[in-house]
Amino acid sequence: MWNNILQERLPPVIDDFLYICDGAYTRNELLAMEIKLLKTLDFDLGVPLSYRFLRRFARCAKTSMPTLTLARYILELSLMDYTLISCSDSKMAAAALLLALKMRFISEWTPTLEYYSGYKLEDIKSLVYRLNEMLHKRKDRDSLSTVVNKYKH
């Protein structure tokens, strides 16, 4: 249940889960099990993904949908680059957004983006260069055709 709540923009309500269970559990039983599960996990439900960080940073910067889509494309391609695996999700999102802004000749790294991301330009500059290089030097284009086609529009 919590996975749906964390991942969905419009999470299902308890009544939806009760309906799926076809009367096998009461509302109180479902809530009790949920509490037990959360306590077992020590309320550690995971960390946000780069996509979530990107969405937040883009919203704070009032970024247009085409720029956000370009940043998403960069992020998704970066998943195929093993050398970038050690970068934090928030840093990847910040760098992808900055690269998208620069590619569209829109903006530099602003104080607003610095404040909400927690990164100064110096913190992400080298990663922006790496992402740009990744875009220009993709070796195996055929294996990435699905990602390219997804953002083709």
Domains observed in the chain: 2-40 (no CATH), 50-150 (1.10.472.10)
Summarised one tens digit per residue, pLDDT across range 99-137 is 999 999 988 899 999 999 999 999 999 999 999 999 888
Q: What is the pLDDT of the chain when averaged over all its residues?
A: 85
Predicted pLDDT of residue 95: 97
Give the pTM. Answer: 0.66
Nearest residue to 118 (alpha-carbon basis) of 151, 95, 136, 135:
95
Cα 130 from Cα 126, distance rounded (Å): 6
Summarised one tens digit per residue, pLDDT across range 55-91 is 999 999 999 999 999 999 999 989 888 888 889 999 9
